[in-house]
Protein backbone atom coordinates (compact mmCIF):
# COMPACT_ATOMS: atom_id res chain seq x y z
CA UNK A 1 0.00 0.00 0.00
CA UNK A 2 1.30 3.45 -0.90
CA UNK A 3 1.47 6.08 1.75
CA UNK A 4 1.77 9.83 1.11
CA UNK A 5 4.49 11.41 3.21
CA UNK A 6 4.79 15.20 3.39
CA UNK A 7 8.40 16.24 2.83
CA UNK A 8 7.90 19.51 4.65
CA UNK A 9 9.62 19.17 8.02
CA UNK A 10 7.44 19.83 11.03
CA UNK A 11 8.05 23.46 11.89
CA UNK A 12 7.50 24.80 15.34
CA UNK A 13 5.13 27.59 14.36
CA UNK A 14 5.78 29.51 17.57
CA UNK A 15 9.49 29.62 16.71
CA UNK A 16 8.69 30.64 13.15
CA UNK A 17 6.42 33.43 14.38
CA UNK A 18 9.10 34.63 16.78
CA UNK A 19 11.72 34.70 14.04
CA UNK A 20 9.44 36.55 11.64
CA UNK A 21 8.65 39.10 14.33
CA UNK A 22 12.37 39.67 14.99
CA UNK A 23 12.91 40.26 11.25
CA UNK A 24 9.99 42.70 11.05
CA UNK A 25 11.15 44.57 14.17
CA UNK A 26 14.69 44.86 12.80
CA UNK A 27 13.44 46.19 9.46
CA UNK A 28 11.44 48.83 11.37
CA UNK A 29 14.64 50.10 13.04
CA UNK A 30 15.90 51.42 9.68
CA UNK A 31 13.74 54.41 8.61
CA UNK A 32 14.23 53.82 4.85
CA UNK A 33 13.52 50.07 5.02
CA UNK A 34 10.65 50.64 7.46
CA UNK A 35 9.00 53.01 4.97
CA UNK A 36 9.52 50.50 2.14
CA UNK A 37 8.08 47.64 4.20
CA UNK A 38 4.92 49.62 5.06
CA UNK A 39 4.36 50.49 1.38
CA UNK A 40 4.84 46.85 0.33
CA UNK A 41 2.32 45.60 2.86
CA UNK A 42 -0.21 48.35 2.06
CA UNK A 43 -0.29 47.15 -1.54
CA UNK A 44 -0.72 43.49 -0.54
CA UNK A 45 -3.85 43.06 1.57
CA UNK A 46 -3.25 39.29 1.86
CA UNK A 47 0.23 39.88 3.34
CA UNK A 48 1.06 40.89 6.91
CA UNK A 49 4.07 41.09 9.28
CA UNK A 50 3.04 37.61 10.52
CA UNK A 51 4.21 36.13 7.21
CA UNK A 52 7.13 37.70 5.40
CA UNK A 53 8.14 34.57 3.51
CA UNK A 54 10.11 31.57 4.70
CA UNK A 55 12.43 33.61 6.85
CA UNK A 56 13.90 30.80 9.00
CA UNK A 57 15.60 29.24 5.97
CA UNK A 58 17.12 32.55 4.85
CA UNK A 59 18.37 33.37 8.35
CA UNK A 60 20.17 30.02 8.53
CA UNK A 61 21.70 30.55 5.05
CA UNK A 62 22.88 34.06 5.98
CA UNK A 63 24.84 32.52 8.83
CA UNK A 64 26.72 30.03 6.64
CA UNK A 65 27.31 32.03 3.42
CA UNK A 66 30.55 34.06 3.70
CA UNK A 67 29.86 37.80 3.87
CA UNK A 68 32.15 38.59 0.91
CA UNK A 69 29.91 36.50 -1.38
CA UNK A 70 27.08 37.70 -3.63
CA UNK A 71 23.57 36.36 -3.03
CA UNK A 72 21.27 35.59 -5.94
CA UNK A 73 17.76 35.16 -4.57
CA UNK A 74 15.95 33.52 -7.47
CA UNK A 75 12.20 33.80 -7.00
CA UNK A 76 12.72 36.33 -4.20
CA UNK A 77 9.07 37.32 -3.73
CA UNK A 78 8.70 40.49 -1.65
CA UNK A 79 12.30 40.03 -0.56
CA UNK A 80 11.92 40.90 3.12
CA UNK A 81 14.66 38.31 3.68
CA UNK A 82 17.16 40.53 1.83
CA UNK A 83 17.61 42.22 5.22
CA UNK A 84 19.61 39.15 6.41
CA UNK A 85 22.14 39.74 3.62
CA UNK A 86 22.50 43.52 4.02
CA UNK A 87 26.17 43.07 4.98
CA UNK A 88 27.03 40.61 2.20
CA UNK A 89 28.91 41.77 -0.93
CA UNK A 90 25.62 42.19 -2.77
CA UNK A 91 22.11 40.82 -3.10
CA UNK A 92 20.38 40.28 -6.45
CA UNK A 93 16.65 39.59 -6.25
CA UNK A 94 15.04 38.04 -9.29
CA UNK A 95 11.32 37.55 -9.74
CA UNK A 96 8.67 37.98 -12.41
CA UNK A 97 6.04 40.74 -12.65
CA UNK A 98 4.17 38.65 -10.08
CA UNK A 99 6.17 40.71 -7.56
CA UNK A 100 7.07 44.01 -9.28
CA UNK A 101 10.38 45.63 -8.31
CA UNK A 102 8.75 48.46 -6.34
CA UNK A 103 7.03 45.82 -4.17
CA UNK A 104 10.31 44.35 -2.92
CA UNK A 105 12.46 45.31 0.05
CA UNK A 106 15.68 46.89 -1.18
CA UNK A 107 18.55 47.40 1.30
CA UNK A 108 21.46 49.56 -0.01
CA UNK A 109 23.45 46.55 -1.29
CA UNK A 110 20.47 45.08 -3.21
CA UNK A 111 19.63 45.09 -6.91
CA UNK A 112 16.26 43.90 -8.15
CA UNK A 113 15.55 42.39 -11.54
CA UNK A 114 12.25 41.53 -13.15
CA UNK A 115 12.73 38.30 -15.03
CA UNK A 116 12.04 34.64 -14.89
CA UNK A 117 14.83 32.64 -13.27
CA UNK A 118 15.34 30.75 -16.52
CA UNK A 119 15.89 33.92 -18.60
CA UNK A 120 18.07 35.51 -15.93
CA UNK A 121 20.55 32.65 -15.49
CA UNK A 122 20.83 32.07 -19.22
CA UNK A 123 21.53 35.70 -20.15
CA UNK A 124 23.62 36.94 -17.19
CA UNK A 125 27.04 36.15 -15.81
CA UNK A 126 27.18 36.00 -12.05
CA UNK A 127 29.93 37.18 -9.74
CA UNK A 128 32.73 34.65 -9.00
CA UNK A 129 31.85 34.38 -5.31
CA UNK A 130 28.17 33.67 -5.56
CA UNK A 131 25.48 31.68 -3.81
CA UNK A 132 22.07 31.11 -5.38
CA UNK A 133 18.95 30.61 -3.30
CA UNK A 134 15.84 29.19 -4.95
CA UNK A 135 13.48 28.64 -2.08
CA UNK A 136 9.82 27.60 -2.27
CA UNK A 137 9.65 28.53 -5.96
CA UNK A 138 6.88 26.51 -7.60
CA UNK A 139 7.55 25.02 -11.05
CA UNK A 140 5.30 27.52 -12.88
CA UNK A 141 7.74 28.20 -15.74
CA UNK A 142 9.35 24.77 -16.02
CA UNK A 143 12.04 23.34 -13.82
CA UNK A 144 13.84 26.36 -12.34
CA UNK A 145 15.56 24.23 -9.67
CA UNK A 146 17.40 22.15 -12.24
CA UNK A 147 18.67 25.16 -14.18
CA UNK A 148 19.87 26.87 -10.98
CA UNK A 149 21.85 23.77 -9.99
CA UNK A 150 23.45 23.73 -13.44
CA UNK A 151 24.56 27.40 -13.37
CA UNK A 152 25.64 27.90 -9.76
CA UNK A 153 28.36 25.90 -8.07
CA UNK A 154 26.98 26.90 -4.68
CA UNK A 155 23.24 26.93 -4.27
CA UNK A 156 20.30 26.03 -2.11
CA UNK A 157 17.26 24.78 -4.01
CA UNK A 158 14.25 23.67 -2.06
CA UNK A 159 10.62 23.10 -2.92
CA UNK A 160 8.72 20.77 -0.61
CA UNK A 161 6.07 18.59 -2.13
CA UNK A 162 4.36 15.31 -1.56
CA UNK A 163 6.04 12.05 -2.50
CA UNK A 164 4.66 8.59 -2.64
CA UNK A 165 6.67 5.86 -0.97
CA UNK A 166 5.96 2.14 -1.11
CA UNK A 167 5.31 0.67 2.31
C1 LIG B 1 6.19 31.11 -2.51
S2 LIG B 1 7.11 32.50 -3.14
C3 LIG B 1 8.66 32.25 -2.30
C4 LIG B 1 9.37 33.56 -2.05
C5 LIG B 1 10.72 33.42 -1.33
N6 LIG B 1 11.66 32.67 -2.15
C7 LIG B 1 10.58 32.74 0.02
O8 LIG B 1 11.08 31.62 0.20
O9 LIG B 1 9.96 33.34 0.93
C10 LIG B 1 7.46 31.98 -4.81
C11 LIG B 1 7.98 33.13 -5.69
O12 LIG B 1 8.61 32.55 -6.84
C13 LIG B 1 8.30 33.37 -7.95
N14 LIG B 1 8.49 32.54 -9.15
C15 LIG B 1 7.88 31.38 -9.49
N16 LIG B 1 8.40 30.87 -10.62
C17 LIG B 1 9.36 31.74 -11.01
C18 LIG B 1 10.27 31.78 -12.12
N19 LIG B 1 10.28 30.80 -13.01
N20 LIG B 1 11.10 32.83 -12.23
C21 LIG B 1 11.09 33.83 -11.30
N22 LIG B 1 10.27 33.84 -10.23
C23 LIG B 1 9.41 32.82 -10.08
C24 LIG B 1 6.88 33.84 -7.71
O25 LIG B 1 6.59 34.99 -8.48
C26 LIG B 1 6.91 34.07 -6.21
O27 LIG B 1 7.27 35.41 -5.91
Q: Which domain holds residue 37?
A: 2-166
pLDDT of residue 136: 93
Task: Give distance in angstroms: CA of 126 to centre of ligand 1.
Answer: 19
pLDDT of residue 160: 83
Binding site membership of 96 for ligand 1 (Cβ less than 6 Å): yes
Which residue's CA is the closest to the ligand 1 atom numbered 25?
98
Q: What is d(CA 4, CA 65) in angstroms, rounded to the nearest whole number? A: 34
- Structural domain total, the chain: 1
pLDDT of residue 8: 59
Nearest atom, ligand 1, residue 73 CA: 6
Q: Is residue 157 classed as helix, strand or coil in its secondary structure?
A: strand
pLDDT of residue 10: 57
Among 73, 74, 79, 14, smallest CA distance to 41 is for 79
Torsion of CA 31, 33, 37, 39, to 10 degrees: 70
Binding site membership of 99 for ligand 1 (Cβ less than 6 Å): yes
Exposure class string for 120-135: b at 16+ Cβ within 10 A, else e: bbeeeebeeebbbbbb
pLDDT of residue 102: 94
* Residues 74, 117 contacting (CB under 8 angstroms): yes
In this structure, is the dihedral angle defined by the CA atoms of residues 112, 53, 18 and 66, taken in order, positive or negative?
negative
Q: What is the pTM of this model?
A: 0.90
Could you read off the pLDDT tens digit of each residue along the chain, which spans 167 residues?
566 666 555 556 666 688 999 999 999 999 999 999 999 998 887 778 888 999 999 999 999 999 999 999 999 999 999 999 999 999 999 999 999 999 999 999 999 999 999 999 998 888 889 999 999 998 877 778 999 999 999 999 999 874 555 55
Residue 163, Cβ neighbours under 10 Å: how many? 10
Which residue's CA is the closest to the ligand 1 atom numbered 10?
137
Domain CATH number, residue 61: 3.40.50
**Which phi-psi region, left, alpha or beta, contains residue 106 (left: φ > 0; alpha: ψ -120 to 50)?**
beta
Binding site membership of 76 for ligand 1 (Cβ less than 6 Å): yes
Amino acid sequence: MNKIIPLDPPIDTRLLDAETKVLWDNIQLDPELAAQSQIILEGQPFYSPEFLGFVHIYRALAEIIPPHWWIYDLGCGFSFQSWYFRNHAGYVGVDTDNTPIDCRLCPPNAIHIQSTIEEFVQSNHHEPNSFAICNYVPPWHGGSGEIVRRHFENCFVYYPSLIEVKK
